[in-house]
Amino acid sequence: MPDALDLSRDAADVTAQLVDIPSVSGAEKVLADEVERVLRELPHLTVARDGDSVVAHTNFGLTERVVLAGHLDTVPIADNVPSRVDGPRLYGCGTSDMKAGVAVQLRLAAHLTAPNRDITYVFYDNEEVEAVKNGLGRLARNHPEWLAGDFAVLLEPTGGVVEGGCQGTMRVRITTAGVRAHSARSWLGDNAIHKAAPILAALEAYEPRIAVIDGLEYREGLNAVGIEGGVAGNVIPDACSVLVNFRFAPDRSEADAEAHLREVFAPAVARGATVEVTDSAPGALPGLDRPAAAAFVAVVGGEPRAKVAWTDVARFSALGVPAVNYGPGDPALAHTRGEYVEIDAVRVAEERLLAWLAD
């Protein structure tokens, strides 16, 4: 059994302790129990739990509340537990994604007893698997009041750069219909694959929009990511479908995104194609104009950038809480066998958040 968490040790050491408590998605209970234990020992926090998600609040009656969130789970272990130190790096499963960020949260929870803003610390399960199991999503459904705040920081690895909000994503399946026939007598059929030409032409001609929000550039993208059609080498196909993924800026709602796609593919629809939304998730506005966000960026420094992907900050945005991604670790190392985090990066992240939240 790994040692119990000791929050008197520095953030890098706490990261190592967290790595040494395996918490592959769906098996976070041991770590969640330990996180709950150490948080309940802190008299300035009110602690609640839902499944293997743990939430702790300060309640000082301050004018602003910020939320610091991170997931407890990792991808499956790849012979990279227990942790090990090699020079300036700490190696192990989840070091970058995202036990270093969780370690920073825990250290702040333990030592920030007189913050300048009320703080909610969220530790949730099942982020690395399908969205229906996501612990933050479950908390948003079961206890949205636990996640209330003026601004949120998701401590996913960003290389120590503030990444504001996130893109939305939508997938649509555009299907054409034809008439099946023997390819030797093709004039008796109607080739559904050929009818996909207007769909592909629309994609080829599409000029993605760049949206500037709070000074951040969100570059949209519309791309075919799959195509299906054909029956056999001697048959004119009677059906073809193109799967299209739209990555849209967070100033569009899901309804706006769908309406835009239907406009783009209206010529194909006019020729008989159908458009079906198969998957969708909203984006998240960065909210860098909020006082807490502006103060955060000022302390962290550097040039914020847009998050050109979808992350769980969208779940906060859906609750009316603007959010950014910020954390130690290189996202390119996430899920790799050789995953590591720079030890100094963990300490710097803690120092910057402490400077933001302490008088």
Give Cα 263 to chain centroid, integer Å. 28
| CB-based contact 274:159 (threshold 8 Å) | no
Helices and strands of the chain, counted as H and E runs = 10, 19
Q: Of 232, 260, 281, which one is at a domain's C-terminal end?
A: 281
Q: Is residue 84 part of a domain?
A: yes
Euclidean distance between CA atoms 9 and 5, whole angstroms = 9
Backbone angle region of 174, left / alpha / beta, with phi > 0 → left and psi within -120 to 50 → alpha = beta
Give Cα 320 to chain centroid, integer Å. 17
Euclidean distance between CA atoms 287 and 324, whole angstroms = 8
Backbone angles phi, psi at 213, to 5 degrees: -130, 125
Backbone angles phi, psi at 169, to 5 degrees: -140, 140
Q: Is residue 5 part of a domain?
A: no
Q: Which of 52, 127, 190, 350 is catalytic?
A: 127
Per-residue pLDDT of the chain (359 residues; tens, 9 = 90+): 567 899 999 999 999 999 999 999 999 999 999 999 999 999 999 999 999 999 999 999 999 999 999 999 999 999 999 999 999 999 999 999 999 999 999 999 999 999 999 999 999 999 998 888 999 999 999 999 999 999 999 999 999 999 999 999 999 999 999 999 999 999 999 999 999 999 999 999 999 999 999 999 999 999 999 999 999 999 999 999 999 999 999 999 999 999 999 999 999 999 999 999 999 989 998 888 888 888 899 988 889 999 988 889 999 988 999 889 999 999 889 999 999 999 999 999 999 999 999 97
The range of the structural domain enclosing residue 328 comes to 11-165+284-357
| CB-based contact 138:83 (threshold 8 Å) | no
End-to-end CA distance of the chain: 39
* CATH number for 273: 3.30.70.360
Predicted local confidence at residue 50, as pLDDT: 98
Q: Is residue 214 part of a domain?
A: yes
How many domains does the chain divide into?
2
In terms of Cβ atoms closer than 10 Å to its own Cβ (0-12, 13-18, 19+), residue 347 is middle
Tokens encoding 114: 């007189």
Q: Say if residue 156 is in the same domain as residue 43.
A: yes
Q: Say if residue 185 is in the same domain as residue 275.
A: yes
* DSSP-based three-state secondary structure for 178: coil
Q: Which of 13, 34, 36, 73 is catalytic?
A: 73
Would you call 220 a catalytic residue per the annotation? no
Predicted local confidence at residue 213, as pLDDT: 92
Q: Is residue 345 part of a domain?
A: yes
Q: Is residue 2 part of a domain?
A: no
Q: Of 281, 296, 324, which one is at a domain's C-terminal end?
A: 281
Q: Say if residue 263 is in the same domain as residue 295.
A: no
Would you call 127 a catalytic residue per the annotation? yes
Predicted local confidence at residue 86, as pLDDT: 96
Q: Say if residue 270 is in the same domain as residue 296.
A: no
Euclidean distance between CA atoms 153 and 286, whole angstroms = 10
Q: Of 265, 281, 297, which one is at a domain's C-terminal end?
A: 281
Predicted local confidence at residue 322, as pLDDT: 87
Q: Say if residue 210 is in the same domain as residue 265.
A: yes
Q: Is residue 80 part of a domain?
A: yes
Q: Say if residue 150 is in the same domain as residue 40.
A: yes
Q: Say if residue 40 is in the same domain as residue 109.
A: yes
Q: Say if residue 253 is in the same domain as residue 312.
A: no
